[in-house]
A and B are shown apart, each in its own frame.
Chain A
Amino acid sequence: MKYMIMMFGDQGTMMETQTPEWIKDMIEFMQKLDGELKEAGELVDGQGLADPTQAKTVRISNNVPVATDGPFAEAKESLAGYWIVDVSEERAIEIASRVVEFIQAPIEVRQVMDAPPDI
């Protein structure tokens, strides 16, 4: 089963409110986790997203798609990064729990849709 483990908020705000020591620990934690997931053959993909202030939103305006800067609204609702792991639900929650313990912010675990089972 594949699961997407999603972090929200923006790293910018997170890093602005933390000490250099915490930032260093966070970097080490993330590198270690990525390494472990790769090593274990569990990691499918993992990416961090650039800050939401750099994003564009495309929406229909007068019947044509128009791109504008942002969203700047609630940054904590913005996707900040994700891992896709090929594991059991139990293990996905275990991985997410480790991250939550460190960043002290909620994380969403969603199953990736799949082909129907053979039998």
Chain B
Amino acid sequence: MSTGSRIEDLQRALAPQVLATLVRRHGQFDDCEDAVQEALLESTVKWAEEGIPANPRSWLTTVSYRRLVDQWRSESARRRREETDVIQRSAGGRASDRDDTLALLFMCCHPSLSVPSQLALTLRAVGGLTTSEIAHGFLVPETTMAQRISRAKQRIKNAGVRFDLPPEPERSARLRVVLHVLYLVFNEGYAASSGLELHRTDLTAEAIRLTRMLHRLIPHDGETAGLLALMLLTDARRAARTNSDGLLVPLDEQQRTLWNQDEIAEGVALLTRTLGSVPLGPYQLQAAIAAVHDEAANAEETDWPQILALYDVLERVSPGPVVTLNRAVAVAMVHGPRAGLALLGTLETDDRMANNHRLEAVRAHLLELAGEVVGARDSYRRAARMTASIPEQRYLALRAARLG
């Protein structure tokens, strides 16, 4: 590993711990966060020149503290501090790094923040990414992202959010928000909801890194393990998901030798450890479905009855139109396209699916399987018009054109 990437790994691992230490000692999440970012920038230059110090963590903590003091020297900033100091400081006492990092995650994913703010703040404060890196990941101008992050910090301050683990009765609901934020970061990178490029691997890699960190902190939480497994089992197919022309390749046509076997093995091992020992949640079930796909040597050998059984459980645990949509594909593969189309029919009147291109794309696929060429072509065309993703639009238009 090069010195540059070793420095980066170290910085990213230490960033949340150093930030948490500062917030615990001095309150003032927003000022502390700025100070840590400055210290990280300084360390990039310094460590590259002079080598990594013997105790990088205390180096970062000391420099961050100095930057914090610099900020406080400004009189108006001090006044601000005196007014709000008490609010943000935690109940006190020495907390473990584990609790600190968790508290930081809970704070960044606070329900009073909008979803885009939760994502941005998590990546900066917990992930240690710079504003410019985050802006690049979400394809927005850097000034926009800087403003989004500073607004989010202001909001946390105004809401008087405490730097502490949420009390037990709220904790599982708050953890669900954290997992959802990590899931969205992954998806943003993997599916790239808009724009020309399909993958933004920086974001998927970061989502996996943060989820892995969270899993280490709470190894017995089944859904955290499930989410990590789901990410790994999905990311494993990345190289096969597009061809050399940059066009999307559907699962059944992917070249499976390109799948990442290490990620598949890690994902499957995670699932094996948690399945059966904890109550099943939606992430574990989705990961289990991904594992069945990943373990099939070719598309024909896919164990569809097993997948359908898992979707049946998923629909009971967390019902919703998107689950029904995916289950319709499994139904079609087990009981034939007509049965799948019949299930899709039940979504026609669901307002949540109105104008959803995936409903139309699945319908097109099932009509094609049923040999209804004209209907399939029209559905592909409608789906192509509805999607906001350029790679998906091109894929769907090509499928339609192929049917003449």
Interfacial residues, chain A to chain B (CB-CB below 8 A): 10-12, 15-16, 18-20, 23-24, 27-28, 31, 34, 46-48, 50-51, 53-54
By the criterion CB–CB under 8 Å, are A19 and B394 in contact? Answer: no
Knowing A24-B245, A27-B247 are in contact, say whether A15-B400 is a contact too (CB < 8 A).
yes
Q: Per a CB cutoff under 8 Å, which of A23, A46, A51 touches B386? A: A51
Q: Which residues of A contact B402 (CB under 8 A)?
A: 20
Q: Which residues of B contact A11 (CB under 8 A)?
A: 384, 393, 397
Number of A-B pairs whose CB atoms are under 8 Å?
A: 49
By the criterion CB–CB under 8 Å, are B388 and A23 in contact? Answer: no
Contact with A along B69-102 (1 / 0, CB 8 A): 0000000000000000000000000000000000
By the criterion CB–CB under 8 Å, are B385 and A12 in contact? Answer: yes
By the criterion CB–CB under 8 Å, are B246 and A20 in contact? Answer: no
By the criterion CB–CB under 8 Å, are A27 and B394 in contact? Answer: yes
Instruction: Give the docked Cα–Cα distance between A89 and B36 (Å).
Output: 46
By the criterion CB–CB under 8 Å, are A23 and B401 in contact? Answer: yes
Q: Per a CB cutoff under 8 Å, which of A10, A16, A31 touches B246? A: A31
Chain B residue nearest to A69 in the complex (CB): B355
Instruction: Give the docked Cα–Cα distance between A33 and B384 (Å).
Output: 22
Chain B min CB distance to A7 (Å): 13
Number of interface residues of B (CB under 8 A): 20
Interfacial residues, chain B to chain A (CB-CB below 8 A): 195-196, 245-247, 355, 381, 384-388, 390, 393-394, 397-398, 400-402
Q: 11 A–B contact pairs at CB < 8 A?
A: A11-B384, A12-B381, A15-B397, A15-B400, A16-B397, A16-B400, A20-B402, A27-B247, A27-B394, A51-B386, A54-B355
Instruction: Give the docked Cα–Cα distance between A41 and B397 (Å).
Output: 31
Q: Which residues of A contact B393 (CB under 8 A)?
A: 11
Chain B min CB distance to A71 (Å): 14
By the criterion CB–CB under 8 Å, are B386 and A54 in contact? Answer: yes
Chain B min CB distance to A12 (Å): 4
Knowing A24-B245, A54-B355 are in contact, say whether A15-B401 is a contact too (CB < 8 A).
yes
Instruction: Give the docked Cα–Cα distance between A54 and B246 (Å).
Output: 25
Knowing A53-B385, A54-B386 are in contact, say whether A34-B196 is a contact too (CB < 8 A).
yes
Chain B min CB distance to A13 (Å): 9
- Identify which of B387, B394, B401 gathers the most chain A CB atoms within 10 Å of its CB: B401
Instruction: Give the docked Cα–Cα distance between A50 and B384 (Å).
Output: 10
Q: Per a CB cutoff under 8 Å, which of B246, B355, B386, B387 touches A27? A: B246
Instruction: Give the docked Cα–Cα distance between A28 and B393 (Å).
Output: 14
By the criterion CB–CB under 8 Å, are A23 and B385 in contact? Answer: no
By the criterion CB–CB under 8 Å, are A48 and B196 in contact? Answer: yes
- Identify which of B196, B246, B385, B393 gathers the most chain A CB atoms within 10 Å of its CB: B385
